[in-house]
Amino acid sequence: MKRIVKFSLFILLFNINLKAWDLNKIFIREAPKNKIVHAPCIASLGNGMIMICWYEGSKEGGKDVKILGVKQIKGIWQKTKILMDTQKASKDLGQRIKTLGNPLIQKINNRTFFYFVSVSYGGWAGSSINVCTSQNNGDEWSKVKKLKLSNFFNVSFLLRNNGIYENKTFILPIYNECITTYPALLLIKEDKYFWKKVGDKGLIQGQILKSNNTYIMLYRSIRKEPYIYISKSLDLKTWSKPQKTDFLNPNSAMTAKMIDKDKILLIFNNSKKNRENLCMSISDLEGKQKTNSFFIEKGILGDEFSYPFLIKIKDEFHLVYTYKRKKIVYIKMNKNKVLNELIYN
C-alpha cells in the first residue's frame, strides 16, 4: 500500500509540474506558405546579443534553400536577414552548389564564425562544410571558404552541434555519411585545422561537453538500438567505447549542456521511433537518468518537434528547436528553475 501511495504521489507531483511551469515559448519564425523551416542553432555574441539561424525552403535538400538569421539585442528582436543562399555560395566557391544544410554560429574572441553545410551533387553523403567570418557580430560576412577535410573529393562531412573553445582551439563535433557513418572531431586553431575520428560507426551528430578534466561525447544513434550513446576521454585522443545511456533516441538530433559539474541537462525526443515529443531531463556523467523527463512538447503521432539546440549564458539556458517544420521556437530557462522543476528519481 505504501508503494502505491508513493507512486501515486510521484505521478501527482509530475502532473502538477507539467501544469505549473510556463516555458514562455516564442515563435521566432513561421514558414512561408509551401515552405519548411528546420535545423535552428543559437549563439551568444556577447554584450546581451544572441543570434539564431536556420534553413528555409520548399523541402530539405531543395534548390531554393536559404539560411536565415535573426539577432536579439538587449531583449529586442531585430529584422530577419538572409545569411546565405546557393547563389552566393556558388559565386564565392566558384562551383555549383545545389543546396544548403545545417548552420552553426560560434563567437570566438572578436570574431563570429558562420559554418554551414553545402551539397553540390547527390544528397547529404555529398556534403561539405563551409565557413564565413564576421568582425561586426554578423552584420557583414567574409567570402565563403570550404574546409578541406579530405583529399578524396572532400565530401561527406557534416556538422550539427556546437563545440567548446579552450587553449586557443575550437573543438567542434562533425560526422561523416559516406558509405559508413561515424563521428569525428574537428580541431581549429588560428585558421589551421585537422580532424580525427572518434566513436564507432552508426553514431553521428556528437555533442561534446567537459566536466573537470574529462571530455564527454553524447551521440545520436542510427543503429537498431534507439538510444543516445556516451563516451569519455581525458586527452581527446583516446576515447572509451560508446555505451548506451538511459535516454531514447529515434535517430533524431539531441542537445546537451553541463548544468552542474556532475549533471548534464539533456534535450531529446523521448521515443523509440518518432519525434512527436520533445523532453528535457538530467543525466549523470555515466548517462544514467537522474530525473523525470519533462515534456517541452507532447504531440500526436505524425507531429515533429526536433533538432533542439541549447546554449548556456551565465545562469540562463537558451533553447531553439523545430516545431512541426513550420516554426522555429525559442525558450529561455533559468538554471535554478530547471533544477527545481525536474523531479529527481
The full DSSP string for 284-300 is: -TTS-B-B--EEEEE--
Measure the CA–CA gap between 134 and 112, rounded to whole angstroms: 5
Task: For residues 231 and 173, give the distance between their C-alpha atoms in angstroms, rounded to a whole number.
Answer: 13
User: Mind listing the pLDDT tens digit for each residue in 255-268?
Assistant: 999 999 999 999 99
Give the bridge partners for 329, in sequence order: 27, 321
Query: What pLDDT is attached to residue 22?
Result: 79
Q: Kindly give, in sequence order, each residue whose CB lies less than 8 Å from that of residue 294, ignoring residues fewer than 6 positions away.
A: 17, 18, 21, 279, 280, 281, 341, 342
CA separation, residue 33 to residues 36, 57, 59 (Å): 8, 10, 12
Average pLDDT, stretch 3-16?
Answer: 38
Helix, coil or strand: residue 3: helix
Rounded-to-integer distance, Cα 29 and Cα 50, Å:
15
Which grid coordinates are listed for 294? Answer: 519533462
Comparing C-alpha atoms, which of 167, 230, 179 is closest to residue 203?
A: 230
CB 128 within 8 A of CB 146: yes
Grid cell listed for 254 = 539531441
Give the Cα separation of 121 and 119 in Å (integer). 6
What's residue 125's pLDDT?
84
Q: How far apart are CA 199 and CA 282, in angstroms?
A: 23
State pTM to two decimals: 0.93
* pLDDT tens figures, 211-258: 999 999 999 999 889 999 999 999 999 999 999 999 999 999 999 999
Lowest mean pLDDT among 180-189, 227-236, 336-345: 336-345
- For domain 24-341, the CATH architecture is 6 Propeller (2.120)
Mean pLDDT of the region 33-41: 98
CA gap 233, 244 in Å, rounded: 16
Residue 69 near residue 78, CB atoms below 8 Å: no
Q: What is the mean pLDDT of residues 178-202?
A: 91
Q: How much is the pLDDT for 224?
A: 87
Length of the chain: 345
Residue 15 is predicted with a pLDDT of 37
Q: What is the C-alpha separation between 213 and 297, in angstroms, rounded?
A: 34
What's the rounded Cα separation, in Å, for the pair 58 and 298? Answer: 26
What is the Cα–Cα distance from 250 to 268, expressed in whole angstroms? 9
Q: How far apart are the C-alpha atoms of 164 and 102, rounded to whole Å? A: 18
CA–CA dist 199, 206 (Å, integer): 9
Mean pLDDT of 290-317: 96
Cα within 13 Å of Cα(222), Cβ side: 14
Question: Residue 198: is its pLDDT beyond 70?
Answer: yes
Q: Over the range 192-215, which residues count as b (16 or more CB within 10 Å of their CB) and which as e? A: ebebeebbbebbbbbbbbeeeeeb
- Rg of the chain in Å (alpha carbons): 20
- Please name every residue paired with 208 in a beta bridge, in sequence order, or none if there are none: 217
Per-residue pLDDT, 151: 65
| pLDDT, averaged across the chain | 92
Residue 3, pLDDT score = 45
Q: CA-to-CA distance for 88 and 42, rounded, in angstroms?
A: 22
Whether 303 shows a pLDDT value over 90: the answer reads: yes
Residues 163-175: pLDDT tens digits?
A: 999 999 999 999 9
